[in-house]
Structure 1
Amino acid sequence: MDMGQLVLEHEFAVPRPALWAAFIEPEILAEWFGPEGWGVHLDTVTIDPRVGGVQEFVMHSLEDPTQTSPVKAKFTEVREHELLVGQDGPHEMTLSLVIELRVELFDRPNGSLLKITQGPLPAEVIEPARAGWESSFTKLEKVFADFM
């Protein structure tokens, strides 16, 4: 099976601490995480942003709530307002692979840059994963617009 990495960047018109909070504050994460058509119930979210801490939640289809996609990651690197690295897995979708998610935050003149690196992923999953993240970013932009 061909494997690869997803790398994508997105600029937000908010400071790094606001972007950081979107990944570590359960109330905020539950508002935006998951592609359009998917949601996260706040009562499924546990986040302990430290090395060895966990990030757990369950995404569910809004159309069919029996369709779920659990996330159960352990943080391996944490630098406040700069870096979150977590490992999720093993999962059935990836034939028991552990997937690493790297979230990097950088200052930009009009806000901040988010860089996501995720993998290894089966090659055929990379573009759907990219579309899912980009859809999630649209939801996050709306959260920032509503609360900033």
Structure 2
Amino acid sequence: MTANVMVVVERQFDYPRPLVFRAWTEPAEMARWRGSPGWHVETETVTSDLRLGGRHHHVKVRDNDPTTRVTTDAVFTEYFEPDVFVARQRITGDPGIDPDTPLELRVEFTKTGRDGTLVRIVQGPYDMEVAGYHGRGWERELDRLDTYLAGDPA
């Protein structure tokens, strides 16, 4: 089957755009919230060269089985702080993603109201059978981001 489905997820945050953008791009901050419940990002694996052509890397690990690891390697193809970044990704270790088929991740940060930020994630292409699973994963990660931004260390 051909991967041809894009996942689109949006979430409104009651925090200023520079703060939300930094949480997505600074390695120390990313490691504190990325990963769906039951997963975590190994802090020492997060690297980001925040510029056009810069590379990004991180490893997510299943909490109850540290041998289950999903690795993301990416190159920024667009980078405009604090508006948007786009990365071409190679993801290995996820049985729903073909590591030989690159994904594109686009994350937009739109100022709303006085200090709000609308985050819009577009990622794919996915096979139709796994797109919903990955969309729900992004929703869970955004829940964790909201908790992190609110100052809850959980």
Which residue of 1 is the match for residue 117 of structure 2?
112
Q: Amino acid of the residue matched to residue 104 of structure 2?
A: E
Tell whether the 8 Å contact from 1:103 to 1:115 is kept in structure 2 after alignment. Answer: yes
What's the % identity of the aligned pairs?
35
> In structure 2, do the counterparts of structure 1 residues 75 and 127 end up closer, same or farther at CA, with 3 Å as the change threshold?
same
Name the CA distance, whole Å, in 1 between partners of 2:99 and 2:80: 30
The alpha-carbon deviation at position 24 of structure 1 amounts to 1.0
Q: How many pairs align? A: 147
Partner of 2:121, secondary structure, is: strand
TM-score for the superposition, normalised by structure 2: 0.90
Tell whether the 8 Å contact from 2:27 to 2:46 is kept in structure 1 after alignment. Answer: yes
Structure 1 residue 100 corresponds to structure 2 residue 104: yes
Q: Amino acid of the residue matched to residue 103 of structure 1?
A: V
Tell whether the 8 Å contact from 1:5 to 1:118 is kept in structure 2 after alignment. Answer: yes
TM-score for the superposition, normalised by structure 1: 0.94
Higher mean alpha-carbon deviation, 49-58 vs 88-97, is at 88-97
Deviation per CA, 1:64-100, whole angstroms, max 9, x where unpaired?
1110000101000000100100001275732621100
Name the CA distance, whole Å, in 2 between partners of 1:22 and 1:141: 10
Structure 1 segments, 4+ long, off by >6 Å, are: none
Q: Amino acid of the residue matched to residue 109 of structure 2?
A: L
Unaligned runs of 5+ in 2: none
Unaligned runs of 5+ in 1: none
Name the CA distance, whole Å, in 1 between partners of 2:91 and 2:21: 26
Which residue of 2 is the match for residue 22 of structure 1?
23
Tell whether the 8 Å contact from 2:72 to 2:92 is kept in structure 1 after alignment. Answer: no
Which residue of 2 is the match for residue 35 of structure 1?
36
> In structure 2, do the counterparts of structure 1 residues 90 and 137 end up closer, same or farther at CA, with 3 Å as the change threshold?
closer
Higher mean alpha-carbon deviation, 84-93 vs 23-32, is at 84-93
Partner of 2:148, secondary structure, is: helix
> In structure 2, do the counterparts of structure 1 residues 90 and 23 end up closer, same or farther at CA, with 3 Å as the change threshold?
closer
Partner of 1:136, secondary structure, is: helix
Deviation per CA, 1:28-76, whole angstroms, max 9, x where unpaired?
1001111111001110100111111011010000111110000101000
Structure-to-structure mapping, 1:62-141, within 5 angstroms: 62-89=63-90, 91=92, 93-94=97-98, 96-109=100-113, 110-141=115-146
